[in-house]
Structure 1
Amino acid sequence: MKALSFRASGDFARFRCPYTTTSALTYTVMHPIAIKGLIGALMGIDYKDLYEYTKEMKIGIEVLKPIKKDTQSFNLVPQIKNNGSPTFPSRIEFLRDVGYRIYVMDSEEKLKEIKKILINRSYIFTPYLGASEHIAKLNFESIEEVTKVSEDVGLTNCVIPKDQIILEDNQEVQLCLDRIPIKNEKNREYIKYEKVGFAPGGSMVAQLKSVLKVGESNVYFF
């Protein structure tokens, strides 16, 4: 089995929490479902086919930059009468100056197709980071063999379930924690969440029993 890695970066990103509406909050990190949507856009996969296209795809995520959040106010145009008002105020949360290394594990044939699109920058649809106004800059890195990790405990730079992080060994590490969606249905509804942790731009000590090695990196795949 092999895994492809590429970088995704942008000035802004927004991965909206579905339980928020007009005062929209964002997840702290780009989650696996958003990444599958990004890949589908690159490849020009029709939305109705995206679930089947990415069903066997495994995603690893490394956060390359510190987490920075902004909140901005907007006047939105209502789709109903809204008591006669032409607009209504809304506060929306963004991630600012984001950078990710993304690992994709799937069939070798599919990885080669994704590599070709990334290298040629021949995206079928414009790639973006959670919202269409946040255009993504993408750079292909490599396709490497995936192997088992020999040690039970070690360092990882990737997003990993919180219960696999050895907190007592990371007291000097700036950790970020979040609860993100990791699985959805064909109708886009999130059906599974995971409490995760990561060290932006750095590494942390974790249990590696569920981790795979891609090149020199220890990667957890969702």
Structure 2
Amino acid sequence: MKALSFRASGDFARFRCPYTTTSALTYTVMHPIAIKGLIGAIMGIDYEDLYEYTKEMKIGIEVLKPIKKDTQSFNLVPQIKNNGSPTFPSRIEFLRDVCYRIYVIDSDEKLNEIKRVLVNRSYTFTPYLGASEHIAKLQFEGIEEVNNVSQEIGLVNCTIPKEQIILEKNQDVQLCLDRIPVKNEKTREYVKYEKVVFVPGGSMVAQLNYVLKVGDSNVYFF
């Protein structure tokens, strides 16, 4: 089994929380479903086929830069009468100056196809980070063998479920916590969420019972 890794970075990103509407909030980390959408876009996978194309795909996420959030106000054009007003105010939250290392496990054939597109930058659709105005810069890093981890406890750089963190061994580490969607249905509805922890640009001590080794990195795959 092998894993492909690449970087995705951008000046801005927005991964909207579905329970917010006109005052849109964003998740603090790019989640697996958004990453599958990004891969589907650069590969030119039809919307109707994306679920099947990514169904067996496993995703690991490493946050490489500190979390920075901005909130900006916009005047949006309503799709209904809106009491006769031509616009209405909306506050929207963004992530600023983001960079992720993304790991992908799938068949060798599919990984090689993704590698070809990343190396040649022959994207079918322009890649973006959650919203079409936030263009993503992608950089292929490599394809490496995936191995089991020998030890029970060790350092992890990637996003990992909260219950695997050993808090007493991370007293001096600034942990970031969020609850993100990790599984969706064909209709795009999120059906599973996970409380996750990550350290932007750093590592944390965690239980490694569900972690795999990719090169020198311990990676949890959703």
| TM-score normalised over the length of structure 2 | 1.00
Q: Deviations over 1:24-47 (max 9, x none)?
A: 000000000000000000100000
Residue pairs, 1:82-161, within 5 angstroms: 82-161=82-161
Residue pairs, 1:18-57, within 5 angstroms: 18-57=18-57
Q: What SS does the aligned partner of 1:155 have?
A: strand
2-structure distance, mates of 1:167, 1:98: 26
Q: What SS does the aligned partner of 1:41 have?
A: helix
Aligned to 1:166: 166
2-structure distance, mates of 1:42, 1:3: 18
1-structure distance, mates of 2:183, 2:58: 11
**Structure 1 stretches of 5 or more lacking a match?**
none
Q: Is residue 216 of structure 1 aligned with residue 216 of structure 2? A: yes
1-structure distance, mates of 2:165, 2:8: 25
Q: Deviations over 1:107-152 (max 9, x none)?
A: 0000000000000000000000000000000000000000000000
Q: What SS does the aligned partner of 1:104 have?
A: strand
Q: Deviations over 1:128-187 (max 9, x none)?
A: 000000000000000000000000000010000000001110010010000000000001
The one-letter code of the counterpart of 1:153 is: I
The one-letter code of the counterpart of 2:205 is: V
Q: What SS does the aligned partner of 1:131 have?
A: coil
Give the alignment's Cα RMSD to 1 decimal.
Answer: 0.2
Q: What SS does the aligned partner of 1:130 have?
A: coil
The one-letter code of the counterpart of 1:158 is: C
Q: What SS does the aligned partner of 1:109 have?
A: helix
Q: What SS does the aligned partner of 1:168 have?
A: helix
2-structure distance, mates of 1:46, 1:209: 36
Q: What SS does the aligned partner of 2:141 have?
A: strand
The one-letter code of the counterpart of 1:165 is: I
1-structure distance, mates of 2:142, 2:97: 23
Aligned to 1:182: 182
The one-letter code of the counterpart of 2:156 is: T
Q: What SS does the aligned partner of 2:103 have?
A: strand
1-structure distance, mates of 2:38, 2:194: 20
1-structure distance, mates of 2:90, 2:179: 24
1-structure distance, mates of 2:168, 2:92: 35
Q: After TM superposition, what 4+ stretches of structure 1 lie above 2 angstroms from structure 2? A: none
Q: What SS does the aligned partner of 1:66 have?
A: coil
The one-letter code of the counterpart of 1:206 is: A
2-structure distance, mates of 1:12, 1:215: 29
